[in-house]
């Protein structure tokens, strides 16, 4: 019997990788690979699954940056992946391979860099609030 905590974590990681890939140039590769995994032993279902995957991608692409929508799609796929793991029709080792294969590349392609410029003059004081790495340069003109 599969440990439900392990199953849930594995399904969550796979679904997160899948949904994040929907807005990257890796999408076609990811879609092909996950469709293979989720329909193993049932190749006749592959086209229908590919259509559902494309429907999810459309949802994500219509609202870029919408974390709520991404969360809904991630939850949807996590539930389906978890169910297949529970039924034993999805090999957890192969699913881990999928995550390992794509997770790093997907993360790198969805990372965001923000460049902000603040111009102050006179005796003004500027405040920068944020997180992550910040580089502050001061120029006296």
Confidence of residue 28 (pLDDT cuts 50, 70, 90): very high
What's the mean pLDDT when you consider all of the chain?
Answer: 83
- Indicate whether 15 belongs to any domain: yes
What was the pLDDT predicted at 27? 94
Q: Which domain holds residue 49?
A: 4-110
Mean local confidence (pLDDT), 68-82: 95
In a domain, 85, yes or no: yes
* pLDDT of residue 59 exceeding 50: yes
Residue 16 has pLDDT above 60, yes or no: yes
The answer to whether residue 138 sits within a structural domain is: no
Q: In this structure, is residue 119 part of a structural domain? A: no
As a whole number of angstroms, the longest Cα–Cα distance in the chain is: 71
Q: For residue 117, is it within any domain?
A: no
* HEC assignment per residue over 23-86: CCCCHHHHHHHHHHHHCCCCHHHHHHHHHHHHHHHHHHHHCCCCHHHHHHHHHHHHHHHHHHHH
pLDDT at residue 65 in the model: 82
Structure confidence at residue 131 (pLDDT): 47
pLDDT band for position 91 (cuts 50, 70, 90): very high
Judge whether 71 lies within some domain: yes
pLDDT of residue 2 exceeding 60, the answer is no
Domain total of the chain: 1
| Region of poorest pLDDT, from 3-7, 72-76, 81-85 | 3-7
Residue 60 lies in a domain: yes
Percent of the chain residues past pLDDT 90, beyond the cut: 57
């Amino acid at each position: 019997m599969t440990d439900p905590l392990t199953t849930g974590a594995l399904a969550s990681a796979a679904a997160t990788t899948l949904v994040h890939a929907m807005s990257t140039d890796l999408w076609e590769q990811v879609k092909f690979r996950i469709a293979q995994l989720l329909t193993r032993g049932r190749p006749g279902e592959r086209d229908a699954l590919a259509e559902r995957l494309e429907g999810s991608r459309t949802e994500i692409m219509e609202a870029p940056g919408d974390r709520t929508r991404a969360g809904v799609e991630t939850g949807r796929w996590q539930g389906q992946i978890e169910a297949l793991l529970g039924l034993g029709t999805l090999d957890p080792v192969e699913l881990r391979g999928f995550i390992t294969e794509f997770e790093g590349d997907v993360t790198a392609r969805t990372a965001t860099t923000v460049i902000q410029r603040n111009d102050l003059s006179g005796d003004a004081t500027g405040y920068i609030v944020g997180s992550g790495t910040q580089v502050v340069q001061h120029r006296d003109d």
